[in-house]
Amino acid sequence: MDKILRVEKLCKDEIIKDVSVGVNQGEMVAIMGPSGSGKSTLLYNISGMDQPTKGKVWLKEQEITALSENDKAKLRLHQIGFVFQQMNMMENLNILDNILLPAIQANKEKKKERTEKRELIDEAARLMEKLSISGLEKRKITEVSGGQLQRACICRSMINHPEIIFADEPTGALNKGASEEVMNALMSLNREGTTILMVTHDSRMASRCGRIMYLLDGQLQGELMLEDCPKDSFKQREEKVNQWLAKMEW
Ligand SMILES: Nc1ncnc2c1ncn2[C@@H]1O[C@H](COP(=O)(O)OP(=O)(O)OP(=O)(O)O)[C@@H](O)[C@H]1O
Ligand SMILES: [Mg+2]
């Protein structure tokens, strides 16, 4: 299978130690591990938000770790989507304008072949419909629920058609119902082919992924494949994950 992401012996200060991983095109992978084990640090150093002290990262044929800061910023804008627990939406913009922001930014950088604003709005509407938040376009970010806001963040992360989404505890600030909505949204994007790498504390959310990696003290301790058991119910998968996590001394 084609690897979309390859990480080779990545180190960051004393926090991440020699982590090597590969992510296949179209996979949905969770990173779990105790608080302080380095999950966020690993995600930031893989995704070009931070520069590792050692090691290499490739997104397809492109070595992210060899890019200049400027080229990394471009890569983050055009090829990567980010979703965070603290959603980082602009308070002075409505939901639609927040979703459009990365697309407007990308347009500014293009000299030719700018996308018409109308087309961008249509694309935002398509994403919002897909994530079941149509009709919220004109709302302020304080006028929607947490689950709706996080789904708007996912639309924003998708607006420039990224090759991969990195998510750091996307359901970390949400209650059970809203977490479920957000997870369903991510799963539906993944079914359509978007590769997703997400950090989560929630074994329910992780059990929806095809694979879970366990990080402890900055090192990968183990991996659980769930893709092999697509026929299992969510409940069976969750039990499998919980048993595995108990073995990992989670
Ligand atoms: N910018 C930084 N400078 C120095 N140390 C940092 C920095 N960011 C994180 N750390 C340290 O690195 C370790 C790993 O932090 P990280 O945020 O990656 O953990 P995490 O697994 O994401 O934890 P959590 O589950 O609580 O989010 C911690 O000991 C933390 O204090
Ligand atoms: Mg973290």
CATH code, domain with 14: 3.40.50.300
Q: What is the pLDDT of the chain when averaged over all its residues?
A: 94
Q: Is residue 243 part of a domain?
A: yes
Mean pLDDT of 203-225: 96
Domain count, the chain: 1
Domain assignment present for 82: yes
* Residue from 39, 169, 248 to probe ligand 1 pocket by mutation (most atoms less than 8 Å from CB): 39
The whole-number pLDDT of residue 86 equals 86
Distance 27 CA to ligand 1 centre (A): 26
- Distance, CA of 128 to CA of 21 (rounded, Å): 32
In a domain, 98, yes or no: no
* Arithmetic mean of pLDDT, 190-216: 96
Amino acid type, 198: M
Ligand 1, atom 26: closest residue by C-alpha: 35
Tokens of 192: 């359509």
- pLDDT of the residue at 112: 73
Which domain covers residue 203, as residue numbers? 3-91+165-247
- Spacing, Cα 10 to ligand 1 middle (Å): 16
Instruction: Report yes or no on 155 lying in a domain.
Output: no
Tokens of 244: 């595995």
Distance of CA 186 to the CA centre of its chain: 9
Nearest ligand to the CA of 33 is 1
Q: Where are the beta strands (DSSP E) in the chain?
A: 3-12, 16-24, 28-32, 54-59, 62-63, 80-84, 164-168, 195-199, 211-216, 219-225
Model pLDDT, residue 119: 94
Tell the residue number behind the tokens 């799963």, with chain if given: 187
| Residue 116 covered by a domain | no
Q: Is the predicted pLDDT of residue 230 greater than 90, yes or no?
A: no
> 123-133 pLDDT, tens per residue?
999 999 999 99
211, part of any domain:
yes
Q: Whose CA is nearest to atom 9 of ligand 1?
A: 41
In a domain, 39, yes or no: yes
User: Residue 91: helix, strand or coil by DSSP?
Assistant: coil
| 42 found inside a domain | yes
Q: Which of 43, 48, 39, 88 is nearest to 71 (CA)?
A: 48
Ligand 1 contacts CB of residue 37 (under 6 A): yes
